[in-house]
Structure 1
Amino acid sequence: MLKLLGYAVVDVNIRGTGCSGGAFDYFEPLQGIDGYDVVETAARQPWVLHGKVGMAGVSYGGISQLFVAATRPPSLSAITPLSVIDNTQTTLYPGGILNTGFALSWAKDRVYDARPASPTGGQAWALDRIKAGDEVCRANQVLHDQAVDLLAKTEANQFYDREVADPLAPITFVDRIAAPTFLACQWTDEQTGGHCPALVAHFTGTARKWFTFTNGVHTDSLDPATFNRWFDFLELYVARRKPTLPAAASAGAGAIYQAVLGIPGQTLPPDPIQQQPDFASALNAFQAQSPVRVLFDNGAGSSMPGAPVPAFERSFPTLPIPGTQARAWYLDAGGALSDAPGAGGEDRFTWNPKVRPPTSFTGNTGGGPGGLWTATPTYHWDPNPAGTASGYVSAPLSADTTVIGAGAVDLWIQASVPDVDLQVTISEVRPDGNETFVQNGWLRSSLRALAPGRSTELEPVLSLLKAQAAPLPAGRFTKVTVPLYYQGHVYRAGSRLRIVVAAPGGDQPVWEFGDTRPASGTAGVQIARGGGIASRVLLPVVPGVAVPTPLPPCPGERGEPCRPYPG
């Protein structure tokens, strides 16, 4: 696509992969230094406009931009990281629990790819080049077998060792990025997860920064509405010209979305920046846009439910959004969520991580038939078996309630074992009798300590430090705070808010959770509520957001399965 837009593209094999030399390690400092060198080398080529280069890419190709940009290459004009993480830990060990689904399978694939190219490992295309006589590629395989064992590294770093983990956490260094930045992520990204928005408040090194967030899957960072703004940014800050979409790119957009998403008939919407008469006008118009853009109800903005089109959008100066209010709903008797703490009582469920399927999705993670990126994925979002969860639902909302940001669920629990893994699922029970998934949160109860000085009421940050790990006290209730991952969702008037507390698993399409602790199996869990104990849900509610569209179709919202409410 970049070539269709008129850009020369330089693709680089990461150190220790493909035909490159060296040995691979996950985002080791040498990769950032390599990126610095590549930027400066490319910028000095005679065909490079203005002697400056930009960076573009999705997922690893987006995350790597954050690492490279933090080294501040003088010739780097701008970066456009898409579908990225804020911290390796929030994808690999959400709440301190190993993600044995996407994260671990990704690591296994990298271990295989980093081997010397051969019939039993490495990347097949590199072996093909060697067989065709590429002696440089052959010579560069020498150190590949010295690659770091990512699986062993993962196992050795269950706890957050700052010396190891901080260099792998963009949230700790994006403040060093000075280049203009365009970043886009999804709250419900099935691969990298929904914690990317935490980066916004830490991007303090550049005044030229724009962020787009939406519900959706891993590829939705290049949906039509986001694509336009991404293209405008590249034209203004890399090419330094008035954005004018080439006819070939505009004509080819439908074919690209059909190939990637399996969704026909997609076109790029009209773009006000491209309609400006000259470069200066376009630049001024772009810079006048608010930094944070939220696309709501992605999938409900066209006549085809699930197509990558938002129902509406709103823009804000920053995130957390000024004026955000912490609104609480309290766990109450009879599975209710109330506006105030109720009478004392307890709810019990059997913690059992084996009773639900390891995944809520069958099909492929692409745009082929039944694929997760298509308009109507084959989700299987199944209710928890009776007795294996505690659920709570609010009264119907009297008005549209917009939630943007992270939240938390405070629980007072007691268990029959010293440690349990918890998952909280938050959803919208709609007035039409259906239920829409919104977000999850996770916590290993022994890692319940909060990092001092780094936590807020709405966004608790777990310390995950080995020294602070502690078993649940026997025979008494203990407060644990389950951090919810980010969301940008409008709970419509007449809908009800619902949370379900259970063992992890079954609600995310690609993430899975293994439990290898000695206490694995089943356990009894009690949740105390009311009577002076404030077990509650706390959400960042943004008042004054005008909602011009009705309840989305079910199914229809991308990355958010919808089912008949099981009651």
Structure 2
Amino acid sequence: MQRRVFGPFVAMALAVAACSSSGDGADQNDDAAVTTPTDAPTTDPATDPEPEPTTVDEPEPEPEPAVIELDVRAGVEQITLNGATPGTTIDVMAGDDTVASGAVDDFGTFIARGLDADLDHRLRTDDGVTEPIDVLARDEHPDPAFYAEQRLPAPGFGYLETRDGTLLSVNVVLPGPAEDGPYPTVVEYSGYSVSNPNGGGFKDLFPPLGYAYVAVNMRGSGCSGGSFRFFEYTQSTDGYDVIEAVAAQPWALNNRAGMVGISYPGISQLFVAQTQPPSLAAITPLSVLDDSYQGNLYPGGILNTGFAVEWTQDRLDDGRPAIDPSGELTDEGQGWVTDQILAGDEVCAANQSERLQNPDVVAEIMDTPYYTTELGDEIAPRTFVDQIEVPTFMSGAWQDEQTGGRFPTMIPEFTGTDQLYVSLLNGLHTESISPAVFPRLIEFLELYVAERTPDLTTTRLVAPILAEGIFGTSDFVLPTDRFAGMEYADALAAFEAEPSIEILFEQGASDGAPPLTPLARYTAGFDEWPIPGTVATPFHLGLDGNLLEQPETTDGSIEYLALPDGVPATFWDGNSSDLWRTDVVWDWQEPAPGTFADFVSAPLADTLVMIGSASADLWVSSNLGDTDLEVTLTEIRPDGNEVMVQSGWLRASHRALLDDESSELRPVRSYLEADLAPLPDPDGDDPAFSLARVEILPFAHTFRAGSQIQLMVDAPGGNRATWVFDTISGGERVEIGVGPDFPSRLVLPVVPGVDAPETYPACDSLKGQPCRPTGES
């Protein structure tokens, strides 16, 4: 039985009048029609008067529709209607044009999205139309007084008002009494349960480090009002309002705030920072993506039904209303929201009333298999990070099993700030907050948010607790303070003089530490991405399954059957968070014989350090006209073990390139439906191959002298821990052409001049890089 915890919502009744008119026409009987001979006059001109002129009744003009009053709220490119009669049809008018329509939901709510702020809009019902509604533009920001008048809990749980009146739930945690401030302040902005007053996470991390921490739930999530849609622009302008309101608090140092967060709240920072809040001090986006479509949802044009779709569905489930329109609990949404409502939080309860307007984003994903600029650009940070002007610290892992490892490709797009610092390493989703990265992250926050000389004394106490919870170990030692005894200005200058891009090699194999301890073995620093001096080094595919320095002199082909069921979709024991731990058990298997093609180099004469994107340039054909390609780069070591390095994917019909953006090391594709093209049939009258360049995601790896480079090509699956592909492959025969006419090759990013340890890391020690005996099947 459900419990009634909140009374029915008060709705304004709309009287829907239906009117109709009808008229009976005169009956006409053709059989009884009277005819007049044509030679007989029908009137006498001498005696009959002039006929009366015939008049035609003009139709009555349409009456102007009545002006009605509705409970509407204008937002950024949105209009929200509350308190209407459920089921009422609403038309959104721009001039005489209907630009959107829909029905009022059971809560009495209707939301119109994507409206042009340059036009006047009105809502129309059967009763009439509203006065024009002034939809807000993206750059139409409130006066600073709007933020200065808001007072957030200090500390505690409460609500923050955005420019359209939506109330977002917030939880404030201070490092001490408010009156002892001001404190350097950081904000975590997310659709997760961040503002849960009884939750954990970063709220337990930053106050001990001396920071005021403010957690804010996005609209349509948690106890926040509004409706949720994945990274629509309203969420970005909400973030602008969040930063300005938080920075206006008397306990916020210098009336400024930074942003923190990993994954979802890491990505959100990029979206907020593009709006350029004046009081934003710095951002620290960790484990992010560069493009929602290419980087996660449709890597290579292939739907990721594993993490990507499952995560999106989880967000929709989290956004479901915790109460129904009658005010009874639904057992849906985030569990802590129910607790808040039961505790008497009437704002949280009322804020559930717009959740039925959350669009079904999963259905949109399924219905949009091709890239469109209208949908894709809006949720692709690579298209707008040039608008970010504040200092930025970004970190992530090449083999990230959730958001993927493609994000470094957008580093060159950060043209709006001179303070971009990046730490890149092998490993998984939480590597960006590992002890290998954490000290530099805290130094960055100390310098750009706290504006003081970094002191890692407290960090040394916090980091082991953090690592124990995520990685299952606290057995490590952080480096000594680099800036001890320096004045702030000197410390800042020293930090900024260092190479901005830090590459951490062989994370998990730190000398003297147990395997998979989240510390790097060695590092290298650079000032640009792609790394200056990178040499695009080709290895040509050979007829005998070799990788050759020179192309084959004879044309031929290698074939395999694309059978994706030849390997398990995942390769570890436990749940997904167990992947991050030092006791993870990998089960990385080789595909079944005949279901892949592999190409192996001769043992390397010299050690090659590689950093960056790579390209597998394959001349392919398929007897079914298409296929899904997975390419995997591995290292075969002299000790008989094979280490996974990186992968890439491509639905071959999506092989059309954007030539002006592509390079020898990185193919860039359009993914537009108009660019689809089938593969040639190897059994056709004129057998041939088409070039399909597969992007291998960025990586950094040391191939030591004596090792061999291997490229494997097969159907997708088994090489990304939580990604599952909705592949079209089902046993088609795929051929890879080799030789002078079809010069398939692997092009790798060799970076000379990097000093690496001579010895190999232990086979089972590299984070995110499973290891298996060579040729294991």
- Which of these residues, 352, 356, 365, is aligned with residue 145 of structure 1? 356
Aligned to 1:26: 230
**Please, which moves more after superposition, 340-349 or 75-84?**
340-349
SS at match of 1:58: coil
- Matched letter for residue 418 of structure 1: G
**Partner Cα distance (2:398, 2:471) in 1:** 18
Aligned to 1:386: 593
SS at match of 2:733: strand
Contact 1:345–1:531 (CA under 8 A) maintained in structure 2: no
- Which of these residues, 625, 628, 631, is aligned with residue 418 of structure 1? 625
Aligned to 2:722: 510
- Which of these residues, 502, 508, 531, is aligned with residue 321 of structure 1? 531
Correspondence 1:472 to 2:679: yes
Aligned to 1:124: 335
**Partner Cα distance (2:436, 2:768) in 1:** 17
- Which of these residues, 228, 234, 238, is aligned with residue 439 of structure 2? 228
Query: How far did residue 344 of structure 1 move?
Result: 2.1
**Partner Cα distance (2:741, 2:723) in 1:** 36
Contact 2:331–2:338 (CA under 8 A) maintained in structure 1: no
SS at match of 2:697: strand
**Partner Cα distance (2:573, 2:694) in 1:** 28
Contact 2:456–2:481 (CA under 8 A) maintained in structure 1: no
Report 1:131-530 matches (<5 A): 131-247=342-458, 249-273=459-483, 275-302=484-511, 303-342=513-552, 343-366=554-577, 371-474=578-681, 475=684, 476-515=688-727, 517=728, 520-530=729-739
- Matched letter for residue 344 of structure 1: D
SS at match of 1:140: helix
Post-superposition CA distance 1:515-547 (Å, at most 9, x none):
3x5xx5211111111133210001111111111
Aligned to 2:133: none
Contact 2:227–2:355 (CA under 8 A) maintained in structure 1: yes
SS at match of 2:213: coil
Cα pair distance change 1:190/1:276, threshold 3 Å: farther
Query: How far did residue 246 of structure 1 move?
Result: 4.3
Instruction: State the percentage of identical aligned residues.
Output: 46
Query: How far did residue 549 of structure 1 move?
Result: 4.7
**Please, which moves more after superposition, 309-318 or 278-287?**
278-287
**Partner Cα distance (1:259, 1:107) in 2:** 25
Aligned to 1:40: 244
- Matched letter for residue 316 of structure 1: F
Post-superposition CA distance 1:535-566 (Å, at most 9, x none):
00011111111113521111100000011111
Gaps of 5+ in 2: 1-204, 323-328
Post-superposition CA distance 1:436-466 (Å, at most 9, x none):
0000000001100012322111111111000
**Partner Cα distance (1:163, 1:506) in 2:** 33
Report 1:538-553 matches (<5 A): 538-553=747-762
**Partner Cα distance (1:114, 1:451) in 2:** 38
**Partner Cα distance (1:211, 1:451) in 2:** 27
Contact 1:411–1:479 (CA under 8 A) maintained in structure 2: yes
Aligned to 1:65: 269
Cα pair distance change 1:61/1:549, threshold 3 Å: farther
Query: How far did residue 120 of structure 1 move?
Result: 4.2
**Partner Cα distance (2:419, 2:569) in 1:** 42
Query: How far did residue 276 of structure 1 move?
Result: 4.2
Higher relative contact order (CA 8 A, sep 6+): 1
Aligned to 2:765: 556
Post-superposition CA distance 1:255-300 (Å, at most 9, x none):
2211211123133222313x24221221111111111110000011
SS at match of 1:34: helix
TM, length-normalised to structure 2: 0.71
Post-superposition CA distance 1:356-393 (Å, at most 9, x none):
21212231222xxxx11112421111011010000010
TM, length-normalised to structure 1: 0.97
Aligned to 2:189: none
Contact 2:561–2:733 (CA under 8 A) maintained in structure 1: yes
Query: How far did residue 420 of structure 1 move?
Result: 0.6
Moved over 3 A (4+): none
- Matched letter for residue 536 of structure 1: R
**Partner Cα distance (1:26, 1:109) in 2:** 12
Contact 1:253–1:267 (CA under 8 A) maintained in structure 2: no
Gaps of 5+ in 1: none
Aligned to 2:286: 82
- Matched letter for residue 485 of structure 1: L
Post-superposition CA distance 1:72-105 (Å, at most 9, x none):
0000010010000011121111000011111111
**Partner Cα distance (1:561, 1:380) in 2:** 8
**Partner Cα distance (1:120, 1:338) in 2:** 61
- Matched letter for residue 333 of structure 2: G
- CA RMSD in angstroms, aligned pairs only: 1.2
Q: Which protein shows a greater Rg?
A: 2
Post-superposition CA distance 1:408-431 (Å, at most 9, x none):
101111111011101001000011
**Partner Cα distance (2:468, 2:280) in 1:** 33
Query: How far did residue 355 of structure 1 move?
Result: 2.2
**How many residues are paired up?**
558
**Partner Cα distance (1:10, 1:186) in 2:** 27
